[in-house]
Amino acid sequence: AILSLLQATLTLPGIAAIALTLGMAIDANVLINERIREEVRAGQSPQAAIHAGYERAWGTILDSNITTLIAGLSLLIFGSGPVRGFAVVHCLGILTSIVSSVVVSRAFVNLFYGHRRKVARLQIGDTAWK
């Protein structure tokens, strides 16, 4: 949708950039999941573990996304043709990945678990914690 607003076409390098940013978005969510699991193993309640997991993962997610965004911006500035198309899709994908992995997923987790005073059970991965 953003590409159509910019009147840009999706080419093969753009599809490669989508695959790259999709992988980074999945990595961010896996990182958040692992941080939450570490907090639960440390003995925190599920709600405190969710809060601490997102807080601990934020720095790592931001660092990795900013690093690749800098690389994408340099490709955008110095590249031409297909490289520039890759850079546009890559930069847009990284920005939406940051928003979706941190803001949107946290909103959904808070929607499912935030209204409860105490979460009796938290299903993460293949193990359920009580």
104 within domain boundaries: yes
For the question of whether the overall pTM of this predicted structure is more than 0.85, the answer is no
Element (H, E) at 128: strand 127-129
What is the pLDDT, as a whole number, of residue 130?
53
Q: Is residue 5 part of a domain?
A: no
Answer yes or no: is 80 within a domain: yes
2 domain residue, yes or no: no
* pLDDT for the residue numbered 20: 92
Enclosing H/E stretch for 127: strand 127-129
Residue 1 has what DSSP assignment? -
Residue 129's pLDDT band, with cuts at 50, 70 and 90, is: low
**CB crowding 71-96: b at 16 or more within 10 Å, else e:** ebeebbeebeeeebbbbbbbbbbbee
Residue 83 forms part of a structural domain: yes
Query: Residues 17-31: pLDDT tens digits?
Result: 989 999 999 999 999
Structural domain total, the chain: 1
Instruction: Summarize pLDDT for 66-117 with one digit per residue, the tens.
Output: 999 999 999 999 988 889 889 988 999 999 999 888 888 888 887 877 665 5
